[in-house]
Structure 1
């Protein structure tokens, strides 16, 4: 039963990443090592963010419940470094637009999964008792995949010189919302005056991610339509 639970969590977490890579056409471009390079850039970016937080915010070490919303806002602002890292690595990938978006988003999401969720799943999901939190952790990995692909698409649109002036503020707003999305659990805890349940946190992550995905897709379709009209 323990092995089955662990295998179920691993398949639920890693399966969508494998299917996305296999059926998106990336194997035809030999994009595996490009995804690995994106993962290396992810690790370098996280290291720079950690050094920045340790240098300028050394007094923020403490339990989350004691941290104010303003402090969490400042810490989350450092996540704009992810946009810088994504922009750098996207500019170094040769290929058409959809290949850049897929390689960058998938590689970044896979590295995030490996570094933030692989160890908890390996240690916790093999325990003697079944726990729903590891299923929720696996589902959250799927939400993260969609989130990073959306951010990569929005960044690609942002750096397009032919992006319509009317669409640029919307793209910037969506990118900012993507950066500050991790603040939602803190906001829920503040307004509800209690720690949200696992299902509530999952819904809080999934809802804005799905909405952003639909809006980003609409912006992408609109951009293509405007480009072809000219």
Structure 2
């Protein structure tokens, strides 16, 4: 049962990444090392964020007794805007068409995120003797993160285009802010509704699906207007 549980978690996490890379056409571009480079920039970005958080936003345990400190959490979530800068650097360093750039950046960024944030948890926890649904939830959440990171990379690429319709720029900018503050929004929702982890996972999936669908519509219209696919 332990190995079966662990195998299911690993499959849920890594198979979607492999299938996305293989069947999206990235393998034809030889983008594997570009994904590795994107992961390296992710690591550097997270280190910078940790230094900023440790310097300007030290942990305050007293706030946890009275509930969430909205101002403090908002300021901490603002640091996540650094991820947009990191994705911009990744996109600028990848040659090729738009879909290849955003997929390479998104998969590399998401892969590094999963490797650093969930790999150890699954390797140690999911191989334990006792079954726990939290590892299945984390595995499903990794798939949601893959879609989220690809969506964010697409929005950053659209925002960086000088030939993007100016009327769409405020929409793209607002969606980028939603991507940066999604964790804070999810925490507010959980506290407001007192919902469980499965409901929170479902809400995040719906939020990511809506954001990704809207981004896909904007990208498809823009790609058709300038003749790239």
TM range (shorter): over 0.9
Q: CA deviation at 1:3?
A: 0.3
5+ residue gaps, structure 2, are: none
* Cα separation, partners in 2 of 1:201 and 1:15, compared to 1, 3 Å: same
Contact 2:77 2:181 in 1 (8 A): yes
| Counterpart in the other structure of 1:29 | 29
Q: CA deviation at 1:207?
A: 1.3
Distance 2:50 2:60 in 1: 12
Are residue 128 (structure 1) and residue 126 (structure 2) matched? Answer: no
- Greater shift after overlay, 112-121 or 88-97? 88-97
| Counterpart in the other structure of 1:86 | 87
Contact 2:190 2:200 in 1 (8 A): no
| Counterpart in the other structure of 1:13 | 13
Contact 2:91 2:105 in 1 (8 A): yes
Q: CA deviation at 1:67?
A: 3.8
* Cα separation, partners in 2 of 1:93 and 1:122, compared to 1, 3 Å: same
Runs of 4+ in 1 over 6 A off after TM superposition: none
* Cα separation, partners in 2 of 1:59 and 1:13, compared to 1, 3 Å: closer
Contact 1:53 1:75 in 2 (8 A): yes
Once the two structures are superposed, residues 109-167 of structure 1 have per-residue CA deviations (whole angstroms, 9 ceiling, x without a partner) of 00000000111111111111211111110000000000000011111111111100111
Q: Give the RMSD, CA atoms, in angstroms.
A: 1.5
Distance 2:182 2:50 in 1: 19
Q: CA deviation at 1:63?
A: 7.8
Alignment length (residue pairs): 226
Are residue 212 (structure 1) and residue 211 (structure 2) matched? Answer: yes
Distance 1:204 1:79 in 2: 21
Once the two structures are superposed, residues 56-78 of structure 1 have per-residue CA deviations (whole angstroms, 9 ceiling, x without a partner) of 11244678565412211111110
Q: TM-score normalised to the size of structure 2?
A: 0.94
Contact 1:76 1:183 in 2 (8 A): yes
Q: Matches of residues 1-230 of structure 1 in structure 2 within 5 Å?
A: 1-60=1-60, 66-192=67-193, 194=194, 196-228=195-227
- 3-state DSSP of counterpart to 1:58: coil
